[in-house]
Amino acid sequence: MKTFWRSIPFTSRGMLLTAVVTWIGVGSGRILPAGGMLLAAAVAASVVLARRKLTFWVVVLLVGLASGFASQARDHAVGQAWVPDGPISMEVGVLAGPYPFGDAHRYVVRHGSLGTSVWRGPPVTVVFESTTDARVGDVLMVHGSMRPEPTHVRGRPVAGTLQVDDYVRTRESSNPFVRVGNAVRARVMDETAGGGPGRSLVAGFLIGDTGGVAAADIEAMRQAGLSHFVAVS
């Protein structure tokens, strides 16, 4: 084992160790309470004072801890946030998507207006049963039914699911970078449409769209631990 480790280039070893320490920090940060974070910071300070050569690794670990703690705090805040329940009409802005969801497609959206007032609620996911041309950056007026059910969509915490019955696009994004991204996505979809399993998998690799990939192939990738390759967020 020692011989194998020494055979790895020094730079690669450093990158690997940094990734491992960061991963440990993030994982620990997601489970430690605030008091545990303070204790970890105190221990880290003591280690740095005693062994200054470990300063870099301690800093990496602390950054991971802070990132994990912030991520957990965000998940908790979204999960505890209030969202409407039942029939609803609201204006939303599309943050991410579309993502295949069975035979449907879903998007992550930010708050917009709820009736005549501005809603400052958490992100939710909207589900379209049929094909839609909604794109990232669009602002939509959607009509449907909301269910408060905290979950994650491609790593993003959402507080509820809005099943869409009807929608109207009220405006498109004016951000040039978003427009370019949407254009690239549309081109990839056009080039890979109807091209068989191989092209469908390419679409999954490039833009995370697995709508054309067979369910059996998706399950095989999941069991092999390869599903993250088509989990572009």
Taking only the tens of pLDDT, the chain with its 233 residues reads 566 656 667 677 778 778 887 877 787 877 777 777 777 777 777 777 777 777 887 888 888 888 888 888 888 888 888 888 888 888 888 888 777 777 778 888 887 666 555 667 788 888 988 777 788 888 888 889 989 988 888 778 898 898 988 888 888 877 777 777 767 777 777 777 766 767 777 777 776 666 666 667 766 766 666 666 666 55
Q: Which pLDDT value is given to residue 73?
A: 87
- Residue ranges with strand state E in 154-193: 156-171
Q: Angle of helix 55-80 relative to helix 34-50, nearest 10 degrees?
A: 170
pTM strictly above 0.75: no
> Angle at Cα 143 formed by Cα 137 and Cα 147, nearest 5°?
95
Domains of the chain: 2-79 (no CATH), 86-171 (2.40.50.140), 176-230 (no CATH)
